Amino acid sequence: MSAIITATGLTRTYPLPRQSLFAEPGVVTGIDDLSFEVQAGERFAIVGESGSGKSTLLRIIAGLDAPTSGQITVGGIDVSRPGKHIKALRAELQMVFQDPMSSLDPHMKVRDIVAEPLVAQKIPYTADDIDKLLRDVGISSDGADRYPHQFSGGQRQRISIARALAPQPKILIADEPVSALDVSVRAQVLNLITDLVRTRDLTLVFVSHDLSVVRHLCERVAVLKDGRLVEIGPTEQVYAEPQSDYTRRLVAAIPTIGKALAGAETSDLLLGNEPEEADAQA
């Protein structure tokens, strides 16, 4: 295995508005001195409570933001500094966001949404290619000429996954991709991501505040707290023997089967039930 993402001393601070003319300008820490590698083909999770720096880190990996200091290469491309060279990253890496509604243009047909990255990268494609991508994510081809609002939340997230896969990236990064979905459809979308990552041999970087979501999906997990890496290791090891109180608390927050039975929603996830998606295609 070889590293496909290498980060060294990665730091991102955000300037605070000055409190007074005489006060030193303060900063908010997004991420603080992160060093780690992700191996090609690995399924890597980044977990931590809200505000721990997960999205800051993902945006930097995706070349959407630059670190204040430190180095990062992704697929051999130096994404530490903004510039035209970042364009080459789009062919290597694609992203799925938390809220599929706000990441899909409501005025565009699904067909054009999925084709967007191909158009942007001047990659030739046919209507059949788009239909196939949609089929691969479980959307029937008559969906291609509809608009995002005509689909359920889970289906919209499937459409954003099809768009992400269109340029055949090597790396898929996902920022809480199931957190905004109804609990009943989470397992379905997670299973879809799992299948696609396996069949397409993708490297996956998956962010979640919820450890139960990444447990069976990712082989290795990094735990962030206040922008710092508190723990990194094989998922089973981190879950079985958390090295910090913080990680122990995150692990303890995972719903157990007993708790899950009290609320049917979480049992679907834990027991791998696959209810039919409630709101069918309009």
Residues that bind ligand ADP (CB under 6 A): 14, 28, 30, 48, 50-56
250-272 burial, b at 16+ Cβ within 10 Å, e below that, comes to bbeebbeeeebeeeeebbbbbee
- 69 vs 121 by CB, closer to ligand ADP: 69
Cα dist from 202 to 22, 140, 172, 176, 195, whole Å:
51, 24, 7, 18, 10
CB 160 within 8 A of CB 96: yes
- The binder of 271, among ligand ADP, Mg ion, none, by C-beta within 5 to 8 A per type, is none
CA angle (13, 16, 18) in 5-degree steps: 145
- 51 vs 75 by CB, closer to ligand ADP: 51
Q: Which of 4, 12, 55, 115 binds Mg ion (CB under 5 A)?
A: 55
- 48 vs 242 by CB, closer to ligand ADP: 48
Under rule CB under 5 A, residue 160 binds Mg ion: no
- The binder of 52, among ligand ADP, Mg ion, none, by C-beta within 5 to 8 A per type, is ligand ADP
Alpha-carbon dihedral 222, 228, 231, 233, rounded to 10 degrees: 30
Closest distance of CB 102 from ligand ADP, Å: 15
Encoding tokens for residue 6? 């290498």
Pairing of strands 203-208, 220-225: unpaired
- The binder of 264, among ligand ADP, Mg ion, none, by C-beta within 5 to 8 A per type, is none
Closest distance of CB 228 from ligand ADP, Å: 11
Which residue(s) pair with 48 in the sheet? none
Closest distance of CB 48 from ligand ADP, Å: 6
Catalog residues that contact Mg ion under the rule CB under 5 A. 54-55
